[in-house]
Structures are given as C-alpha cells and as structure tokens.
Amino acid sequence: MQKYIGTSVSRIDGRAKVTGEAKYAAEFNAPGLIHGSVVTSSFAKGRIVRIDASDALRVAGVIDVLSHENRPPMASTDSAYEDETAPKGSPFRPLYDNRIMFSGQPIALVVAEEPEIARFAASLVHAEYDEEAHDTDVFHRRDEAVALEPPTESLFGPPKPRGSAEKAFAAAEVRHAGEYYVPIEHHNPMELYACTVVWEGEGKLTIYDKTQGVQNVHRYVCGVFDMKPDDVRVMSAYMGGGFGSGLRPQYEVVLAVLAARALTRSVRVVLTRQQMYALGYRPAMIQRIELGARPGGTLEAITHEAITVTSQYEDFYRQETAWSGLLYACANAKYAHKLARLDLPTPCDMRCPSAATGVYALECAMDELAVTLKLDPLEMRLRCYSDRDQNTDRPYSSKSLRACYHQGAEAFGWDKRSPEPRSMRDGNELIGWGMATGIWEALQMPIAVRIILSANGHVEVSCATSDIGTGTYTIMAQVAADMLGLPMESITTKLGDSTLPNSPVEGGSWIAASISNGIATTADAIRAELLRLAKQMPNSPLAHAAPDEVALADGKLVSKLDASRAVSIVDAMRHGAVDRIEQEKSTTFADDGSKAHNTHSAVFSEVKVDEQLGVIRVTRVVSAVAAGRILNTKTARSQIVGGVVWGIGMALHEETLLDHTFGRVMNANIAEYHVPVNADVHDIKVIFVDEPDATINRLGIKGLGEIGIVGVAAAIANAVYHATGKRVRDLPITLDKLQR
C-alpha cells in the first residue's frame, strides 16, 4: 500500500530543472513578442506632475510608453484589486494615478521590440514630481504606532490575554525583560519576477507569470481588467523561489497585461533585481518580551509586545506575539501588537511569517532567563513543557517536541556543554553552543484534485496548485502511486495552470497535507468505480466485496480480507469497455476545533567566534523536527536545510538598509544584501522524529516548508552569547556589534 510515501524518492522535476527543459515565466516565446521595461519613482511620497516620454519615444524600436496618463481602463474599486491573501486596506494599483506611495513604485512601462532597447529607453523617461515629506524609519514612528485591538477575532490578531501578566511579573522572584529587533529582510529568490503575456487574439490571454497561486492571479487579472474568466489562463509550472513573495500578484503581471491589451500583442515584462526590492518584504519589528519565573525554572508571566511595519495603505500584520503564550506552560500571558505606518510598500509573508521573528525574540529571552536562573537552557524548556496549546487550552493532535529535544541534544552532544560563557575554545576561536525551540502551524486548506486513469494503467493527477520548489510534483506522484497501487513511473503530475481543479496559493506549509488528502479522497472514488466494473465481470472474485474491503495494489484491485481475490485494473476496465476513469473531488477540513495542530523543532547550534576579530562562523547545526509523517525524506530534508541556511542569514547577514533621507533601499542588490554563501554553511544535520498523528488527516501529514527556519536565529544568537558573553539583541549579529 505504501511503497513510496516516506521514502527518499528524487524529485521528478529535477531532470527538467537541471537540463533547462523546465521553462520559467520569462522563457516563453510568442510570435512578435515585445518587451516592457519598468520606470520607477525615485522618491517616496507625493504626486507625479508630468511624465515626459518624448526622448524615450524617439529611440528606434520603442513602441509605446504607458503610464497613468495614457493607459487603457482599469477597475476603479478596491475590491477588484484584493487578491486572496490581501490584508485589510486599499491595495496598490500599478500605473493607476499620479500618487506616489513608496520609492521604487512603477510609474511607467516602456515597450520596445527588444528588451535592451526598452531598458535603455526607460532611462530616458523623465518625471516631474511634487514631493511630500516621508518617513521610512520605524524608530521614528514607534510612539505613533497604532494598536491592534486585543482580543480580535481575526486570524492574525493577538490572542486573548490570560491571568494578570503585570501582577505576576511584578511578583516573580526571577525576571527578564528585553527588547529585540529584526530589520526589514527581502526574499531574494533567484528567479526575477517576470510575466509573459501571450496575445491569443480577440482579447484572449495566456499569461505565464511568476506566482505561488495561478488561480489567485487569474481572479485578480479578471477583476482588474474586467475580463471574462474564460478569456484568461494563468500558468506557472515552475518557480525559481518564492518564499512568500509570490503569494500576492505582483505588479509585473498588471503591466504586462496592460501593455498586451493596449497594443494587442504578446508582451514580456521582467523586473530587475533592484526593482525586486520595492515588492513585499519581511517587516522590521521591535519586540519587547517580559518573563517572570520561579527559581525552579517554571514560568509565571509572559508579556510579548510587538511594533511591526506596514505601509500607508494596507494593514499587514501576523501573529508575531502569539507564539510566546502558546508554547510554554504559564498561567499569565499578555500580548500587544502595534503597527507603524511608513512610506514603504506593504510588507508580505516571508518564510514562516511571524514565527521566524516572534519566536526569535521569545527564544532569546528564554535563554537570557535561563542564564539568570543558572539553569541549562534545555532543562528550563523541559520544565516549562506543555502538552496543551496554552492560548486556547486545547490538546495537540500530536506533539513530539520532547523527542526533538532529546534526539537533537544527543546528536549534538549537548550534555558536554560547559555552561559558563567564554569557557569553551578552539585555538583563537571562542566556541558557543546555543539552542532554541521552533513552532509553526500545521494548516490545511480546501483543495480539489482530478485523477484520470487510462486503461493502459497510466494516471494523470492534477490540481492548480504551484510547486514553489518544495517538491509538490514529487509528493503528488508518490501519494497517487501509493493510493492507486501503481508504480510512480505510471503517474504524470500536472499543476500550475489556472484551468486545473481549484487550489489555494501554495504557502503556509499547507499544500502537502491538503493535496495528499485530496489525492487520497479522489483515489477512493477511482477505486469505487473500478470495483463497480470488477463486480460486473463473470464470476467476479470481488462480487460481494464492499468498497472499504478492497485496496489497490500492484495494478490490481485486491480484497483486504482475502488477497487471493483480486482483479487487475486493466481487466476490469477492458471488461467494462471503458478506456478512462476520471474523478474530481474537493476536500475541506471540517475541523471541530478541539485540537491544536502544530509542527515543532529543537535547534542546536555551534558557533566559533574569532576572539580578536569577532568573525562568527556557524560550524554546526542540528535541527530535530516533529512534523507528522514525512512524505519524502529527501525533499523534506532539503526544506529543513534550506530553512536552517536562511536562519543563518537571519542571525548573521540579512538586513535591508534604508536611506531614510530618500526613503530608499540602499543595498538593493545581492552583492550588498548579504545572504549566506557556501563558505558560511557548514555541518547541518536534520532529524525527523517519529510523530504519528491519527486525527489531523487520514495520512497523518503536516507541512514542513517553513518550520526549518524557526528557532535557528535564536539558537545562533544564544550560541554567540555563550561563546563571547556578549548579548546582541538586534539582528543581524555583525562583528561590529560584537566589538562594541
């Protein structure tokens, strides 16, 4: 029954990707394709008075320059621009009017016969502005930040407080309070945002767009341009990294569609790397944590306050604070969350939004408390361990965090840690060992799956989901193969096409669980149809079998009660004279709310810090993860390793630097925005602990695209403290901060 689930099958799209056969949004061609280059605003706030495109239009090969002054009609209501992941507010409308809300905002599109011509001509477009005063500094705005009302019913609002955190904190024998800062970070996917719109004639468009949700983009384009759903098809078969930046439709698709409709031609728009820094980002945040404890190491009070950045036009926030009171046993908890409005684009989700950042602050604070208590940080977390979600007082459908702590500690050799800072060294380098807990949600979403079984035993399984690189193609084939009892080679996976069965955006680590369940449910319908056919055969060995008494295995329908009673799929279909069986099923998750669904991790990190220079190397990381049943141990490990590498970047490298005078990103390129390179990445060990989950869904699957980053920055920051005795509370921990 389960030949492929849980194994280390290599990704089925791997060959297409490494040979270049896999095509990305900017690689599709069409006869007469023309190219758009974006002109962006050079200041942060105000109005465009006039756009002078005359120089650009004089360049040979330039076809048109589109701006708010001459564009074709676009929708005028906010709702037309609200995609399925839009926060509250008034979504940004590219080239809509003369208002400028952030530096780097698109103000015109130069369309030309060749991309080089378009790009050159874009440099010749002049704009006159009426500038207004702007502010892009969260520290200026912290006092004017607007509070979110607690408790709120919204998905991302802070949870209800419990007990009295103020009183309990004041009365606590041991206290820690600290402020932690995370700067703006950008996703920096390898693939640039790009869109190729193919003009199919009579207003019909095929849109190859870089996105994490083709149907989200489809609805958005139909809304913004008032187009009929059948006239628009959105495709995104492959993505060179999204990490959340592709959850919302980005402006390249609007500009490309605008130009295609204005000129009735096929158009490609590719953003530059620099322009990618004016899309969404992980918001900067100032977090304050207060912990009160008993000398024995149990928690009495938790307060978590956050000030996070949003734009002037939308309220982007996530539940940064909520993880603190959820994770550890503590009777008193209080939360507060404020939004600081800046003249920047709206932030967006970035891998494990809220937990990567909120848990960073909590887990550094827990480490500081352990130091004050003179307790081993792992031991303290075990003393605060909770088998219930503390915010909602519910049990978990499964929680194997204790096993993560034990197996991670053992693999790391944590028991050999000498507790005093600066007490371990290797020559000129101080050695530090730190650890942290990770937690994320195990979400599931409504989804539809189609399976087509041909009489030759070939299967096509399809859904409009994306594969943002996480391995969705592969796990779909694995689950379909096992559920239908066929070899993986017989399965073809189709996704990333808006005409396929309904899917939400791929994000939130929810697709693996959702689609596996959807495939299993649709496979049931295929099996029932095969049984119906098998029963019609003369002297059928399955004549009296009930649907749940048969399984599909090795190309046959087999009685679970008596394996000798079997009919091959091919025979059943041939006898029934059907050459294909097609089923499409939608699945939802009727969660009764009685259980909390989460994934967990325990992260252990070793750093070596040059005593004279302060240079930090992360020499070892062990990440022990509890994420239900693991569908594919190879792609799953890759996800966790990727998350750990990102955590190294968050701890030591990543920071979007703004020049507040101009309200503009200064390091808008990968040379100056630092991410870990190979030389920064050393020994990473991933452990998946056993975590059976009988209730979350029929296969016991949780997602794991995001849990890998959570806790990593804290484990590294804690290790840096242990190595040096210096606590740096604002990320990234650069060597100048260590030497201060």
Residues that bind ligand MOS (CB under 6 A): 212, 242-244, 247, 349-351, 353, 507-508
Q: What's the closest the beta carbon of residue 12 comes to ligand MOS, in angstroms?
A: 22
Q: What's the closest the beta carbon of residue 235 comes to ligand MOS, in angstroms?
A: 19
Q: Helices 511-535 and 472-484, interaxial angle, to 10°?
A: 30
How far is CA 106 from its chain centroid? 25
| Residue whose C-alpha is closest to residue 730's, from 323, 115, 139 | 139
The C-alpha atoms of residue 356 and residue 438 are separated, in whole angstroms, by 8
For residues 212 and 321, which CB has a smaller minimum distance to ligand MOS in the complex? Answer: 212
Question: How many DSSP H helices and E strands does the chain contain?
Answer: 17, 33
Q: Helices 355-373 and 712-724, interaxial angle, to 10°?
A: 30
The C-alpha atoms of residue 570 and residue 558 are separated, in whole angstroms, by 13
| Residue whose C-alpha is closest to residue 534's, from 545, 548, 524, 521 | 545
Calculate ∠ Cα 595-706-274, nearest 5°.
Answer: 145
Q: What's the closest the beta carbon of residue 351 comes to ligand MOS, in angstroms?
A: 5
For residues 44 and 350, which CB has a smaller minimum distance to ligand MOS in the complex? Answer: 350
Tell me if residue 281 falls in helix, strand or coil.
coil
CA–CA distances in Å: residue 77 to residues 92, 96, 102, 259, 468: 11, 11, 21, 21, 31
For residues 314 and 349, which CB has a smaller minimum distance to ligand MOS in the complex? Answer: 349
For residues 349 and 654, which CB has a smaller minimum distance to ligand MOS in the complex? Answer: 349
The CA radius of gyration of the chain, in Å to the nearest whole number, is 27
The C-alpha atoms of residue 523 and residue 482 are separated, in whole angstroms, by 10
> Which tokens go with 273?
């790397």
What are the b/e assignments for 137-175, b being 16+ CB within 10 Å? Answer: ebeebeeebeebeeeeeeebbbbebbeebeebbeebebb
Q: What's the closest the beta carbon of residue 350 comes to ligand MOS, in angstroms?
A: 5
Q: What's the closest the beta carbon of residue 646 comes to ligand MOS, in angstroms?
A: 11
Calculate ∠ Cα 629-635-637, nearest 5°.
Answer: 75
Q: What's the closest the beta carbon of residue 493 comes to ligand MOS, in angstroms?
A: 20
For residues 467 and 529, which CB has a smaller minimum distance to ligand MOS in the complex? Answer: 467
Tell me if residue 409 falls in helix, strand or coil.
helix
Q: What's the closest the beta carbon of residue 510 comes to ligand MOS, in angstroms?
A: 8
What are the b/e assignments for 645-668, b being 16+ CB within 10 Å? Answer: bbbbbbbbbbbbebebeebbbebb
For residues 185 and 349, which CB has a smaller minimum distance to ligand MOS in the complex? Answer: 349
Q: Residues 206, 235: contact at Cβ < 8 Å? A: yes
Sole residue written with tokens 């194997």: 400
For residues 432 and 649, which CB has a smaller minimum distance to ligand MOS in the complex? Answer: 649
The C-alpha atoms of residue 490 and residue 454 are separated, in whole angstroms, by 10
Q: Residues 71, 152: contact at Cβ < 8 Å? A: no
> 711 burial class (0-12, 13-18, 19+ CB within 10 angstroms)?
buried
The C-alpha atoms of residue 301 and residue 171 are separated, in whole angstroms, by 9
Q: What is the DSSP string of 43-73?
A: SSSEEEEEEE-HHHHTSTTEEEEEETTTPPP
For residues 498 and 639, which CB has a smaller minimum distance to ligand MOS in the complex? Answer: 639
CA–CA distances in Å: residue 383 to residues 29, 133, 328, 329, 330: 60, 52, 9, 9, 11
Active site residues: 706
> Which tokens go with 16?
């297409």
For residues 511 and 531, which CB has a smaller minimum distance to ligand MOS in the complex? Answer: 511
Q: Residues 138, 275: contact at Cβ < 8 Å? A: no
For residues 280 and 576, which CB has a smaller minimum distance to ligand MOS in the complex? Answer: 280
For residues 46 and 244, which CB has a smaller minimum distance to ligand MOS in the complex? Answer: 244
Sign, CA dihedral 273-277-281-282, equals: positive
Q: What's the closest the beta carbon of residue 396 comes to ligand MOS, in angstroms?
A: 21
Enumerate the β-bridge partners of residue 180. 287
CA dihedral angle for residue 15, residue 17, residue 22, residue 26, rounded to 10 degrees: -170
The C-alpha atoms of residue 406 and residue 689 are separated, in whole angstroms, by 10
Q: What's the closest the beta carbon of residue 706 comes to ligand MOS, in angstroms?
A: 6
The C-alpha atoms of residue 546 and residue 701 are separated, in whole angstroms, by 27
For residues 243 and 688, which CB has a smaller minimum distance to ligand MOS in the complex? Answer: 243
Residue 547 DSSP code: G
Query: In 10 A of CB 433, how many CB atoms?
Result: 23
Question: How many residues appear in the chain?
Answer: 740
Q: What's the closest the beta carbon of residue 645 comes to ligand MOS, in angstroms?
A: 16
Sign, CA dihedral 677-425-614-375, equals: positive
For residues 157 and 705, which CB has a smaller minimum distance to ligand MOS in the complex? Answer: 705
